Structure 1
């Protein structure tokens, strides 16, 4: 499969998120009572954040009036010429002069004389449209503030992980943290669209365009923050596993079992290799599983009791998979030898055989968590 650039992936996901957002908006508008309550709550929050006195009854009344007219056609007001022309055209009869004037006007329009008709200086928008743009601008301000808070939290966590990585840096963790740093927004992502003045017919087009542009950009920022969080999650897991392994190997209570584990170096190398290739949840889970298996085999307990526990887990693992007959016969012979060592109290001999059987199961592909 050819490699896909991050920009292409984010662009496609932004488009998908836009479609999902549109579908969500349609569903929200179908639920009229809930939509009214949400808009009223947004208005109250806006007034509170700007320390503006308000009356709940007035807010409820205003929201209801807006929704009462949202599906009604509101004809724009006519200027003087339009009103005169409509009146003349609506008359059933008329003088000869008025008929000639109307005919002249029609001819002028037909040949491109639109300059004869003065247009309004300011577009006319319905109250529902103004309320819609106001709500969209408020939503963008709130969403940008939320994303800003998340980004700042990620920055603090990134700084902590970078300090931890300095103590014992590894290429994979360094790469993951570098990727997270590159994904975090470099500038302040908060927005003040529609906050300096109420939405009106004069500024509605500009505010609507700004809100739409911010919304498109918001999807890209949100995706980047998610990717940064995921990279830091993997880096944190790697650092945590390495710290726990170091602590486990230095634990005086585990000294005897650490010294007894015959394949310790090989298993540590396997774990280190997995940690250096953590790029996804699957690879991260695989490394975590390897660590937990090692942690159980190094549990601080009496040596013979520990090997008995390992032998029991090995039997359960072997029985949980459909092992071919040729491998099963070999495993059965090894298990008999392990049981004999345990019966004699020879924990060291049992440990070596158990480690050998575990390797055999892994190599044969019959290893289950």
Structure 2
């Protein structure tokens, strides 16, 4: 089969500082200012930060207190998921004007396969530019994009010219691009893996490519095979229009830490009812119930149990949650509680075939 037939044109669209940008859009007084969505200077966790705040080191998942120390003039704003979903829906409508092969990753990013598209435009780069312009015109927000032969390279590329930019890695440049890339920029390589790779003398894609699959598997387990393939331009899986939901959860962060187990049960009852509501809305159920506990010192603990049957009712979920809560004593007062269900009855397991390595120097319109 001609290798050119296997080349896909994938766009990764990523909204710039989405939550913070929506807040600034809705409140002009916040434009150009350092803001954090979620949390407060006393407690809570930052969900997102504007680029003005990021210059001071403020990042998502950081405590509000730490963020305020780094950026004393930081402004905290409340999350508004109803508004985020509204804007996200408008953005996705734009995607569907070009292709039905849209794979949302979250409210603010998605993959699009535009190999064959509704506009008949052979250039994925031009399509990405059009999409970003339409997003700006219709929502007032900026988006960045990455364009390449598979999801991995497109996602890495989308971060290169942020904010409000795009980067195309055509087929003939993919291998060279990956070889020069610092491994810390490889999507899926976190801080711990990066440090381990550095200790092994693996600093760039070229270093990674020089290692055998056996070596990588020995040091990184199943992920070793993934790293071996990805640096060669090989990736399993295509853009999936309907992503299968793996879990469903709800959680609450409290204004004051709680130590009373009775009070915890009251809050968990509320959370379980919210989980039930979401399960019923999605028409799914799960077998594995997980209790999430975050203590006052920010340490996180999870306790899980898998049942023989699928459940969705709050009462049944609470029976297991009580068991998990009392299976061992609490180490400290609690600042957050959460319940999640996984092992859902919507899961379908399909073996994906890897796309062929792009060692052929192809000249396609990208």
Q: TM-score scaled to structure 2, two decimals?
A: 0.17
User: Which has the larger helix fraction?
Assistant: 1
User: Which has the larger strand fraction?
Assistant: 2
Larger radius of gyration: 1
